[in-house]
Amino acid sequence: MIISMKLHSTKEEIAEVKERIEDFGYKVHSIEGEQRVVIGVIGVGDVTACLEALEAMPQVEKAVRISAPYKFVSREFRQTKTEITTGNVTIGGDEFVVMAGPCSVENEKQILESAEIVARAGAKILRGGAFKPRTSPYDFQGLEEEGLKLLDKARRATGLRIITEVMSDRDVGLVADYADILQIGARNMQNFALLKNLGQCGRPILLKRGMSSTVKELLMSAEYIVAHGNPKVMLCERGIRTFETVTRNTCDIAAVAALNELTHLPVILDPSHATGKRSLVPALARAAVAIGSDGLLVEMHPHPEKAISDGAQSLDPKQFAKMMEDLKPYIELWKQSRIEEAVAAV
Protein backbone atom coordinates (compact mmCIF):
# COMPACT_ATOMS: atom_id res chain seq x y z
CA MET A 1 0.00 0.00 0.00
CA ILE A 2 1.05 3.52 -0.71
CA ILE A 3 -0.72 6.48 0.82
CA SER A 4 -0.48 9.92 -0.71
CA MET A 5 -1.40 12.80 1.60
CA LYS A 6 -3.27 15.89 0.42
CA LEU A 7 -1.17 18.97 -0.33
CA HIS A 8 -0.38 21.06 2.74
CA SER A 9 -1.28 18.33 5.23
CA THR A 10 -0.07 19.27 8.67
CA LYS A 11 2.36 17.23 10.74
CA GLU A 12 -0.49 16.27 13.06
CA GLU A 13 -2.59 15.02 10.16
CA ILE A 14 0.29 12.94 8.87
CA ALA A 15 0.97 11.52 12.31
CA GLU A 16 -2.68 10.55 12.66
CA VAL A 17 -2.53 8.59 9.40
CA LYS A 18 0.65 6.80 10.45
CA GLU A 19 -0.93 5.87 13.75
CA ARG A 20 -3.99 4.43 12.03
CA ILE A 21 -1.74 2.34 9.74
CA GLU A 22 0.19 1.05 12.72
CA ASP A 23 -3.11 0.11 14.41
CA PHE A 24 -3.52 -2.43 11.61
CA GLY A 25 -0.14 -3.96 12.40
CA TYR A 26 1.86 -2.40 9.59
CA LYS A 27 5.08 -0.42 9.56
CA VAL A 28 5.25 2.96 7.83
CA HIS A 29 7.92 4.66 5.80
CA SER A 30 7.34 8.19 4.56
CA ILE A 31 8.73 10.21 1.67
CA GLU A 32 8.69 13.95 2.20
CA GLY A 33 8.38 15.60 -1.19
CA GLU A 34 8.57 19.33 -1.73
CA GLN A 35 4.83 19.47 -2.19
CA ARG A 36 3.46 16.31 -0.82
CA VAL A 37 4.08 13.53 1.68
CA VAL A 38 3.79 9.92 0.59
CA ILE A 39 3.63 7.03 3.03
CA GLY A 40 4.71 3.52 2.15
CA VAL A 41 3.10 0.69 4.11
CA ILE A 42 5.16 -2.39 4.85
CA GLY A 43 4.15 -5.72 6.35
CA VAL A 44 1.21 -8.12 6.44
CA GLY A 45 -2.39 -7.37 7.57
CA ASP A 46 -6.01 -6.86 6.56
CA VAL A 47 -5.34 -4.77 3.48
CA THR A 48 -8.92 -3.98 2.46
CA ALA A 49 -10.00 -2.82 5.89
CA CYS A 50 -6.88 -0.69 6.23
CA LEU A 51 -7.30 0.84 2.77
CA GLU A 52 -10.94 1.69 3.40
CA ALA A 53 -10.19 3.18 6.79
CA LEU A 54 -7.46 5.38 5.32
CA GLU A 55 -9.64 6.53 2.45
CA ALA A 56 -12.12 7.67 5.08
CA MET A 57 -9.60 10.15 6.47
CA PRO A 58 -10.02 13.62 4.99
CA GLN A 59 -6.30 14.34 4.78
CA VAL A 60 -5.66 11.33 2.54
CA GLU A 61 -5.53 12.07 -1.21
CA LYS A 62 -5.20 8.53 -2.48
CA ALA A 63 -4.55 5.06 -1.10
CA VAL A 64 -3.23 2.56 -3.64
CA ARG A 65 -2.82 -1.16 -3.27
CA ILE A 66 0.32 -2.53 -4.89
CA SER A 67 0.27 -6.26 -4.32
CA ALA A 68 -2.45 -8.39 -5.89
CA PRO A 69 -5.35 -9.21 -3.57
CA TYR A 70 -5.32 -12.88 -4.55
CA LYS A 71 -2.74 -15.49 -3.63
CA PHE A 72 -3.47 -19.12 -4.50
CA VAL A 73 -4.64 -18.41 -8.03
CA SER A 74 -1.68 -16.19 -8.96
CA ARG A 75 1.18 -17.12 -11.27
CA GLU A 76 3.54 -16.12 -8.49
CA PHE A 77 2.06 -18.86 -6.31
CA ARG A 78 2.37 -21.50 -9.02
CA GLN A 79 4.41 -21.20 -12.19
CA THR A 80 2.95 -24.05 -14.26
CA LYS A 81 -0.60 -24.31 -15.44
CA THR A 82 -2.99 -26.31 -13.28
CA GLU A 83 -4.12 -29.46 -15.02
CA ILE A 84 -7.66 -30.58 -14.27
CA THR A 85 -8.51 -34.17 -15.10
CA THR A 86 -11.95 -35.73 -15.29
CA GLY A 87 -12.14 -39.24 -16.67
CA ASN A 88 -9.75 -39.40 -19.59
CA VAL A 89 -9.89 -35.67 -20.34
CA THR A 90 -7.37 -33.16 -19.02
CA ILE A 91 -7.93 -29.43 -19.21
CA GLY A 92 -4.92 -27.17 -18.90
CA GLY A 93 -2.53 -29.73 -20.33
CA ASP A 94 -1.39 -30.43 -23.85
CA GLU A 95 -4.87 -31.06 -25.23
CA PHE A 96 -7.27 -28.38 -26.46
CA VAL A 97 -10.66 -29.39 -25.01
CA VAL A 98 -14.03 -28.68 -26.60
CA MET A 99 -17.18 -28.78 -24.46
CA ALA A 100 -20.37 -28.63 -26.49
CA GLY A 101 -24.08 -29.26 -26.43
CA PRO A 102 -27.41 -27.52 -26.15
CA CYS A 103 -28.25 -24.61 -23.88
CA SER A 104 -30.94 -26.61 -22.05
CA VAL A 105 -31.58 -30.30 -21.62
CA GLU A 106 -35.05 -30.52 -23.17
CA ASN A 107 -35.83 -34.25 -23.37
CA GLU A 108 -34.10 -37.59 -23.75
CA LYS A 109 -34.08 -37.67 -27.52
CA GLN A 110 -32.64 -34.18 -27.81
CA ILE A 111 -29.79 -34.68 -25.35
CA LEU A 112 -28.81 -38.13 -26.62
CA GLU A 113 -28.80 -36.88 -30.19
CA SER A 114 -26.75 -33.86 -29.15
CA ALA A 115 -24.24 -36.02 -27.32
CA GLU A 116 -23.68 -38.27 -30.31
CA ILE A 117 -23.24 -35.32 -32.65
CA VAL A 118 -20.69 -33.50 -30.54
CA ALA A 119 -18.80 -36.69 -29.69
CA ARG A 120 -18.55 -37.66 -33.34
CA ALA A 121 -17.14 -34.24 -34.20
CA GLY A 122 -14.46 -34.47 -31.52
CA ALA A 123 -15.82 -32.79 -28.40
CA LYS A 124 -14.83 -34.44 -25.15
CA ILE A 125 -17.35 -32.93 -22.75
CA LEU A 126 -21.12 -32.51 -23.09
CA ARG A 127 -22.77 -29.30 -21.88
CA GLY A 128 -26.48 -28.96 -21.14
CA GLY A 129 -28.45 -26.99 -18.55
CA ALA A 130 -30.77 -28.67 -16.06
CA PHE A 131 -31.12 -25.63 -13.80
CA LYS A 132 -31.55 -22.55 -16.01
CA PRO A 133 -31.04 -18.95 -14.90
CA ARG A 134 -33.72 -17.09 -16.87
CA THR A 135 -34.34 -13.35 -16.80
CA SER A 136 -38.09 -13.93 -16.78
CA PRO A 137 -39.99 -16.02 -14.23
CA TYR A 138 -42.29 -17.03 -17.08
CA ASP A 139 -39.56 -18.68 -19.17
CA PHE A 140 -38.59 -22.36 -19.08
CA GLN A 141 -36.60 -22.94 -15.87
CA GLY A 142 -35.02 -26.30 -16.72
CA LEU A 143 -35.83 -29.96 -16.01
CA GLU A 144 -33.82 -29.94 -12.76
CA GLU A 145 -32.98 -33.42 -11.42
CA GLU A 146 -34.74 -35.07 -14.34
CA GLY A 147 -32.34 -33.17 -16.61
CA LEU A 148 -29.35 -34.38 -14.60
CA LYS A 149 -30.51 -37.95 -15.10
CA LEU A 150 -30.75 -37.45 -18.82
CA LEU A 151 -27.23 -36.06 -18.87
CA ASP A 152 -26.08 -39.15 -17.06
CA LYS A 153 -27.72 -41.31 -19.73
CA ALA A 154 -25.97 -39.37 -22.45
CA ARG A 155 -22.67 -39.81 -20.65
CA ARG A 156 -23.16 -43.56 -20.45
CA ALA A 157 -24.19 -43.73 -24.09
CA THR A 158 -21.22 -41.78 -25.45
CA GLY A 159 -18.41 -41.76 -22.90
CA LEU A 160 -18.45 -37.96 -22.88
CA ARG A 161 -17.92 -36.19 -19.58
CA ILE A 162 -20.67 -33.88 -18.34
CA ILE A 163 -20.67 -30.18 -17.42
CA THR A 164 -23.81 -28.52 -16.09
CA GLU A 165 -24.74 -25.42 -14.11
CA VAL A 166 -25.51 -25.16 -10.42
CA MET A 167 -27.36 -22.04 -9.28
CA SER A 168 -27.79 -22.39 -5.52
CA ASP A 169 -25.64 -23.54 -2.63
CA ARG A 170 -28.58 -25.80 -1.74
CA ASP A 171 -28.13 -27.80 -4.97
CA VAL A 172 -24.35 -28.23 -4.96
CA GLY A 173 -24.53 -31.76 -3.54
CA LEU A 174 -27.24 -32.87 -5.94
CA VAL A 175 -25.52 -31.52 -9.03
CA ALA A 176 -22.14 -32.90 -7.91
CA ASP A 177 -23.73 -36.36 -7.70
CA TYR A 178 -24.33 -36.30 -11.45
CA ALA A 179 -21.94 -33.85 -13.09
CA ASP A 180 -18.23 -34.20 -13.80
CA ILE A 181 -17.73 -30.45 -13.86
CA LEU A 182 -19.92 -27.85 -12.12
CA GLN A 183 -20.53 -24.67 -14.04
CA ILE A 184 -21.08 -21.36 -12.23
CA GLY A 185 -22.90 -18.91 -14.46
CA ALA A 186 -22.05 -15.28 -15.06
CA ARG A 187 -24.88 -14.07 -12.82
CA ASN A 188 -23.54 -16.10 -9.90
CA MET A 189 -19.86 -15.22 -10.18
CA GLN A 190 -20.19 -13.17 -7.01
CA ASN A 191 -22.74 -15.39 -5.26
CA PHE A 192 -20.35 -15.83 -2.39
CA ALA A 193 -22.54 -18.29 -0.48
CA LEU A 194 -22.42 -20.54 -3.51
CA LEU A 195 -18.67 -20.09 -4.04
CA LYS A 196 -17.90 -21.10 -0.46
CA ASN A 197 -19.95 -24.26 -0.89
CA LEU A 198 -17.95 -25.33 -3.91
CA GLY A 199 -14.85 -25.70 -1.79
CA GLN A 200 -15.87 -29.15 -0.55
CA CYS A 201 -17.85 -30.53 -3.51
CA GLY A 202 -15.06 -32.71 -4.89
CA ARG A 203 -15.65 -31.69 -8.51
CA PRO A 204 -13.84 -29.38 -10.90
CA ILE A 205 -15.48 -25.99 -11.35
CA LEU A 206 -15.90 -23.88 -14.45
CA LEU A 207 -16.36 -20.31 -13.23
CA LYS A 208 -17.84 -17.91 -15.76
CA ARG A 209 -16.89 -14.26 -15.65
CA GLY A 210 -19.72 -11.96 -14.60
CA MET A 211 -21.15 -9.67 -17.22
CA SER A 212 -19.65 -6.61 -15.60
CA SER A 213 -16.86 -8.22 -13.63
CA THR A 214 -13.26 -7.24 -14.00
CA VAL A 215 -10.51 -9.78 -14.54
CA LYS A 216 -9.39 -9.13 -10.97
CA GLU A 217 -12.84 -9.82 -9.57
CA LEU A 218 -12.95 -13.06 -11.55
CA LEU A 219 -9.66 -14.06 -9.95
CA MET A 220 -10.98 -13.10 -6.51
CA SER A 221 -14.04 -15.31 -7.01
CA ALA A 222 -11.78 -18.18 -8.05
CA GLU A 223 -9.72 -17.46 -4.95
CA TYR A 224 -12.87 -18.00 -2.84
CA ILE A 225 -13.27 -21.51 -4.22
CA VAL A 226 -9.61 -22.40 -3.88
CA ALA A 227 -9.34 -20.90 -0.40
CA HIS A 228 -12.32 -23.00 0.66
CA GLY A 229 -10.57 -26.18 -0.38
CA ASN A 230 -11.04 -26.83 -4.08
CA PRO A 231 -8.06 -26.05 -6.32
CA LYS A 232 -9.66 -27.44 -9.50
CA VAL A 233 -11.03 -24.24 -10.97
CA MET A 234 -11.08 -23.21 -14.61
CA LEU A 235 -12.12 -19.73 -15.71
CA CYS A 236 -14.40 -18.85 -18.60
CA GLU A 237 -14.54 -15.67 -20.67
CA ARG A 238 -18.05 -15.38 -22.13
CA GLY A 239 -18.30 -11.75 -23.11
CA ILE A 240 -18.89 -8.68 -21.00
CA ARG A 241 -21.63 -6.10 -21.14
CA THR A 242 -20.87 -2.92 -23.03
CA PHE A 243 -22.76 -0.38 -25.14
CA GLU A 244 -22.29 -2.44 -28.33
CA THR A 245 -25.40 -4.30 -29.52
CA VAL A 246 -24.27 -5.90 -32.80
CA THR A 247 -23.24 -8.84 -30.65
CA ARG A 248 -25.09 -10.04 -27.54
CA ASN A 249 -22.04 -9.38 -25.38
CA THR A 250 -18.54 -8.09 -26.10
CA CYS A 251 -15.92 -10.82 -26.09
CA ASP A 252 -12.94 -9.57 -24.09
CA ILE A 253 -10.50 -11.86 -25.81
CA ALA A 254 -7.43 -10.03 -24.57
CA ALA A 255 -8.53 -11.06 -21.08
CA VAL A 256 -7.55 -14.62 -22.03
CA ALA A 257 -4.00 -13.47 -22.70
CA ALA A 258 -4.00 -11.35 -19.56
CA LEU A 259 -5.26 -14.28 -17.47
CA ASN A 260 -2.53 -16.49 -18.87
CA GLU A 261 -0.04 -14.04 -17.38
CA LEU A 262 -1.81 -13.53 -14.06
CA THR A 263 -2.96 -17.03 -13.14
CA HIS A 264 -2.09 -20.69 -13.52
CA LEU A 265 -5.75 -21.69 -13.84
CA PRO A 266 -6.98 -22.94 -17.25
CA VAL A 267 -9.03 -20.49 -19.31
CA ILE A 268 -11.97 -21.51 -21.50
CA LEU A 269 -13.71 -19.27 -24.04
CA ASP A 270 -17.43 -19.41 -24.78
CA PRO A 271 -17.94 -17.96 -28.28
CA SER A 272 -21.69 -18.64 -28.22
CA HIS A 273 -22.64 -16.32 -25.36
CA ALA A 274 -19.88 -13.91 -26.30
CA THR A 275 -21.49 -13.20 -29.67
CA GLY A 276 -25.08 -14.45 -29.45
CA LYS A 277 -24.91 -15.07 -33.19
CA ARG A 278 -24.31 -18.46 -34.70
CA SER A 279 -22.60 -17.08 -37.80
CA LEU A 280 -19.85 -15.44 -35.73
CA VAL A 281 -19.05 -18.46 -33.54
CA PRO A 282 -16.58 -20.33 -35.80
CA ALA A 283 -14.42 -17.24 -36.45
CA LEU A 284 -14.28 -16.43 -32.75
CA ALA A 285 -13.47 -20.06 -31.94
CA ARG A 286 -10.42 -19.85 -34.23
CA ALA A 287 -9.30 -16.69 -32.47
CA ALA A 288 -9.74 -18.40 -29.10
CA VAL A 289 -7.37 -21.18 -30.12
CA ALA A 290 -4.88 -18.71 -31.56
CA ILE A 291 -4.74 -16.52 -28.48
CA GLY A 292 -4.02 -19.50 -26.26
CA SER A 293 -7.17 -20.44 -24.36
CA ASP A 294 -7.31 -24.01 -23.05
CA GLY A 295 -10.63 -24.93 -24.56
CA LEU A 296 -14.05 -23.90 -25.82
CA LEU A 297 -17.58 -24.07 -24.46
CA VAL A 298 -19.93 -24.06 -27.46
CA GLU A 299 -23.68 -24.30 -27.93
CA MET A 300 -24.84 -26.90 -30.47
CA HIS A 301 -28.45 -27.98 -30.91
CA PRO A 302 -29.74 -30.67 -33.26
CA HIS A 303 -32.47 -28.25 -34.41
CA PRO A 304 -31.66 -24.69 -33.34
CA GLU A 305 -34.90 -23.29 -34.73
CA LYS A 306 -36.82 -25.53 -32.33
CA ALA A 307 -34.61 -24.94 -29.28
CA ILE A 308 -36.32 -23.80 -26.10
CA SER A 309 -33.52 -21.37 -25.41
CA ASP A 310 -30.52 -19.74 -27.14
CA GLY A 311 -31.47 -21.00 -30.61
CA ALA A 312 -29.99 -17.95 -32.30
CA GLN A 313 -26.50 -18.66 -31.01
CA SER A 314 -26.51 -22.46 -31.34
CA LEU A 315 -24.67 -24.12 -34.19
CA ASP A 316 -26.50 -26.87 -36.01
CA PRO A 317 -24.81 -30.30 -36.38
CA LYS A 318 -23.34 -29.53 -39.79
CA GLN A 319 -21.97 -26.16 -38.74
CA PHE A 320 -20.49 -27.68 -35.61
CA ALA A 321 -18.75 -30.47 -37.54
CA LYS A 322 -17.35 -27.94 -40.01
CA MET A 323 -16.05 -25.72 -37.23
CA MET A 324 -14.32 -28.65 -35.55
CA GLU A 325 -12.72 -29.62 -38.84
CA ASP A 326 -11.57 -26.07 -39.55
CA LEU A 327 -10.06 -25.74 -36.07
CA LYS A 328 -7.69 -28.67 -36.55
CA PRO A 329 -4.69 -26.84 -38.08
CA TYR A 330 -5.07 -24.07 -35.48
CA ILE A 331 -5.05 -26.67 -32.72
CA GLU A 332 -1.88 -28.12 -34.25
CA LEU A 333 -0.21 -24.73 -33.96
CA TRP A 334 -1.56 -24.43 -30.42
CA LYS A 335 0.08 -27.72 -29.47
CA GLN A 336 3.42 -26.67 -30.90
CA SER A 337 3.41 -23.46 -28.91
CA ARG A 338 2.51 -25.35 -25.72
CA ILE A 339 5.53 -27.59 -26.30
CA GLU A 340 7.76 -24.58 -26.92
CA GLU A 341 6.52 -22.94 -23.72
CA ALA A 342 7.16 -26.12 -21.76
CA VAL A 343 10.69 -26.33 -23.15
CA ALA A 344 11.30 -22.65 -22.43
CA ALA A 345 10.12 -23.11 -18.84
CA VAL A 346 12.68 -25.83 -18.12
Taking CB under 8 A as the rule, which mask of x and - marks residues 32-71 in contact with a second copy?
-xxxx-x-x-xx--x-xx--xxxxxx---xx-x-xx-xx-
Question: Of 86 and 223, which has the nearer Cβ to a second copy?
Answer: 223
In this structure, which amino acid lies at residue 98?
Answer: V
Among 109, 120, 156, 241, binds a second copy (CB under 8 A): 241
Q: Comparing C-alpha atoms, which of 289, 271, 274, 277 is closest to residue 330? A: 289
Closest to a second copy by CB, 235 or 274: 274
Q: How far apart are the C-alpha atoms of 166 and 171, rounded to whole Å?
A: 7
**How many residues at the interface with a second copy, by CB under 8 A?**
115
Nearer to a second copy, 126 or 198 (CB): 198
What residues from 79 to 108 belong to the interface with a second copy (CB under 8 A)?
none
Of 90-98, 144-152, 154-162, 260-268, the window that binds a second copy (rule: CB under 8 A) is 260-268
Answer for the pair 237, 49: CB distance below 8 angstroms, yes or no.
no
15 near a second copy (CB under 8 A)? no
For a second copy, the binding residue among 87, 242, 318, 341 (CB under 8 A) is 242
Q: CA geometry: angle at 65 spanning 60 and 66, to 5°? A: 130
Single out the residue of 31, 157, 339, 342 in contact with a second copy (rule: CB under 8 A). Answer: 31
DSSP letters spanning 136-175: STTS----THHHHHHHHHHHHHH--EEEEE---GGGHHHH
Question: Is residue 174 involved in binding a second copy (CB under 8 A)?
Answer: no
What is the Cα–Cα distance from 197 to 183, expressed in whole angstroms? 13
CA–CA distance, 243 with 241 (Å, rounded to integer): 7
The reply on whether position 254 binds a second copy by CB under 8 A is yes
Would you call 210 helix, strand, or coil by DSSP?
Answer: coil
CB distance 259 to 235 below 8 Å: yes
Give yes or no for residue 211 binding a second copy (CB under 8 A). yes
Figure out which of the listed residues 29, 153, 318, 322 binds a second copy, where binding follows CB under 8 A.
29
The secondary structure element, H or E, covering residue 285 is: helix 281-291
- Residue 25 CA: distances (Å) to CA of 11, 52, 68, 181: 21, 15, 19, 41
Binding region for a second copy (CB under 8 A) out of 87-95, 114-122, 173-181, 235-243: 235-243
Helices 47-55 and 11-23 cross at an angle (nearest 10°) of 160
Q: In this complex, which beta carbon is closest to a second copy, that of residue 130 or of residue 160? A: 130
d(C-alpha 212, C-alpha 141), whole Å: 24
134 to 173: interface string for a second copy, x by CB under 8 A: xxxxxxxx-------------------------xxxxx--
Q: Which is nearer to a second copy, 181 or 255 (CB)?
A: 255
By beta-carbon proximity to a second copy, the closer residue of 86 and 221 is 221
Q: Which span (2-10, 87-95, 111-119, 229-237) binds a second copy, by CB under 8 A?
A: 2-10
Applying the rule CB under 8 A, the residues between 286 and 325 that interact with a second copy are 286-292, 304-312, 314
- Residue 122 corresponds to which amino acid? G
Sole window of 107-115, 153-161, 174-182, 222-230 interacting with a second copy (rule: CB under 8 A) = 222-230
H-helix or E-strand containing 91? Answer: strand 89-91
Of 164 and 260, which CB lies nearer to a second copy in the complex structure?
260
Q: By CB under 8 A, is residue 257 in contact with a second copy?
A: yes
